[in-house]
Amino acid sequence: MINTKLELPCGEILKNRIVKSAMSENLAKSDHAPWSGFNKLYSQWVDAGLVITGNVMVDSSALGEPNNIVIEKGRENLEALSSWAKAGTQKNCHLWVQLNHPGKQSPKYLSKVPVAPSAIGYKSHLKNMFNTPRELSELEIWDIIGRFAYAAEMVKRSGFTGVQIHGAHGYLISQFLSPRHNQRSDKWGKDRSLFVIEIYKAMRKSVGEHFPIGIKLNSADFQKDGFSTEESMDVILKLSELGVDLIEVSGGSYEAPVMMKGKKESTLKREAYFLDYAKELKKHTQTPIVLTGGFRTQKGMIEALENHACDLIGLARSMAIDPDFAHKLLNDMNVDSPVKPLSTGFKTLDKIFPLEIIWYTDQLHRMAKGKRPNPNANVFKTCLSSLKSIGIQVLKPVRNSSE
Ligand SMILES: Cc1cc2nc3c(=O)[nH]c(=O)nc-3n(C[C@H](O)[C@H](O)[C@H](O)COP(=O)(O)O)c2cc1C
């Protein structure tokens, strides 16, 4: 079952059912362009049917992390992108670029005044991480839509085989979809799905009918007054009707990071965090579905496919710690994921740090240097060295999104 091919609505074929989900590399240099380390990293995952890059930003004045790749007018870097695409599409592996705009989820040290659908700041502990945003004007909204379309065109031109819209995890598209974060009284607030629909349409226009476009979307935000499962399903059905090729189901945001650990009650019952939602979704759409988050056992993956909960298995952390994981699954080596809970050994630190992101990013950086991942890497030490490099970033001048 995991070995079976899958045909996408646009006619492209994925060679098997394993998807390496997006993991931000945070590895670009100050020019925000890819370099040979990206080629090394991505050539290790080509056994998967589909590999999705870490989020690539469409505006250099709106970054989620200091070392994101950016594709925008004047910053195309086509040669470097082509070399990355070539390395990651060996063995007929599909390699898609995930395009993103962080909106207000751009850290304080990167955005003095980030942008968002409405000028609503975070109320929780996130207040310390992100500045209060200003509201986007209509003109700026169209500019961002154009940026997604332009970046998609460059992605296609450089030889990647598809593109994914990052519509999940609390970034700008998620913010537009959420009644908690989008309180506009104009058409972008009256129909909160309009922004993502216009992005999809503009991208489709720029890449044509036969180039795959996927989307990663939350099954819900898991927040009071947030984007609900009903709304999520509604948006997916609209995009399916418009011809989107692949839907990746996830959930949560920085406010409720369930994409990394699921909701307690559901995860106790099953390993994949959003399995019930995906299963329900499959009853309503023919568009192929990738389910991501929590898959750890080959048995769990095969069951999810056999029970028609999803068409593809999305894997992130497992692939960062064992780049051969897809190969082992495909060759029926009855392997389970080596992913385990992480701890610094200090409860308070564990709460403050985004441990999972820091530790797994470090594994990606090892792979980019041609080293094997180190499953025994000390969590505390990894966090300390990451803090040091963030400290250096904080001292650099901050970009203003309105500049
Ligand atoms: C280091 C790291 C970086 C991530 N970056 C992204 C990203 O750029 N875009 C995205 O959609 N998800 C990102 N994620 C979330 C994963 O794609 C995935 O949804 C999540 O890790 C759950 O899957 P898993 O249980 O297989 O790890 C990231 C996860 C990790 C660990």
The protein residue with its alpha carbon nearest to ligand 1, atom 1, reads 357
CB atoms inside a 10 Å sphere around CB 378: 12
- Inform me whether the pLDDT recorded for 396 exceeds 70: no
Quote the tokens at residue 212.
């795959």
The model's pLDDT over 77-122, given as tens digits with 9 standing for 90+, comes to 999 999 999 999 999 999 999 999 999 999 999 999 999 999 999 9
For residue 186, report the distance from its CA to the centre of ligand 1, in Å: 33
Q: Which phi and psi (to 5°) does residue 93 adopt?
A: -80, 135
pLDDT at 223: 86
For 45, residues 6+ apart whose C-beta sits below 8 A from its C-beta are: 20, 51, 88, 93, 319, 323, 326
Domains and CATH numbers, the chain: 16-395 (3.20.20.70)
pLDDT at 258: 82
For residue 137, report the distance from its CA to the centre of ligand 1, in Å: 31
pTM of the shown model: 0.96
- Model confidence at 266, pLDDT cuts 50, 70, 90, reads low
Concatenated DSSP letters for 292-305?
Answer: ES---BHHHHHHHH
For residue 23, report the distance from its CA to the centre of ligand 1, in Å: 5
Element (H, E) at 59: none
Number of H helices, E strands in the chain: 16, 12
For residue 187, report the distance from its CA to the centre of ligand 1, in Å: 32
- What average pLDDT does range 228-238 have in this prediction? 96
Closest ligand 1 atom number to CA of residue 358:
1
CA-based nearest residue to 247, from 239, 259, 256: 239
Element (H, E) at 57: strand 50-57
- What average pLDDT does range 195-217 have in this prediction? 98
The SS3 of residue 214 is: strand
Closest ligand 1 atom number to CA of residue 54:
8
The SS3 of residue 96 is: strand
The model's pLDDT over 326-384, given as tens digits with 9 standing for 90+, comes to 999 999 887 899 999 898 888 887 877 788 999 999 999 999 999 999 999 999 899 88
The model's pLDDT over 57-67, given as tens digits with 9 standing for 90+, comes to 999 999 999 99
User: 146 near 80, Cβ under 8 Å?
Assistant: no
For residue 361, report the distance from its CA to the centre of ligand 1, in Å: 10
Most ligand 1 atoms within 8 A of CB, residue of 164, 219, 292, 365 to mutate: 292
The protein residue with its alpha carbon nearest to ligand 1, atom 23, reads 293
Mean pLDDT for the chain? 93
The protein residue with its alpha carbon nearest to ligand 1, atom 10, reads 22
Closest ligand 1 atom number to CA of residue 359:
1
The C-alpha atoms of residue 160 and residue 204 are separated, in whole angstroms, by 15
CA-based torsion, 380, 385, 391, 394: positive or negative: negative
For residue 169, report the distance from its CA to the centre of ligand 1, in Å: 10
Taking CA atoms, 311 is separated from 209, 257, 301, 307, 396, in Å, by 22, 24, 10, 10, 45
Pocket of ligand 1 (CB under 6 A): 21-24, 54-55, 98, 166, 168-169, 216, 250, 259-260, 292-295, 315-318, 356-357, 360-361
For residue 54, report the distance from its CA to the centre of ligand 1, in Å: 8
- Inform me whether the pLDDT recorded for 401 exceeds 80: no
pLDDT at 269: 62
For residue 369, report the distance from its CA to the centre of ligand 1, in Å: 21
Closest ligand 1 atom number to CA of residue 98:
9
CA-based nearest residue to 339, from 21, 16, 50, 65: 21
Question: Which residue is it, tokens 């989307």?
Answer: 215
For residue 316, report the distance from its CA to the centre of ligand 1, in Å: 6
Most ligand 1 atoms within 8 A of CB, residue of 18, 19, 20, 21 to mutate: 21
For residue 283, report the distance from its CA to the centre of ligand 1, in Å: 26
Closest ligand 1 atom number to CA of residue 169:
11
Q: Which residue has the higher pLDDT, 350 or 185?
A: 185
CA-based nearest residue to 231, from 301, 179, 183, 186: 179
pLDDT at 403: 38
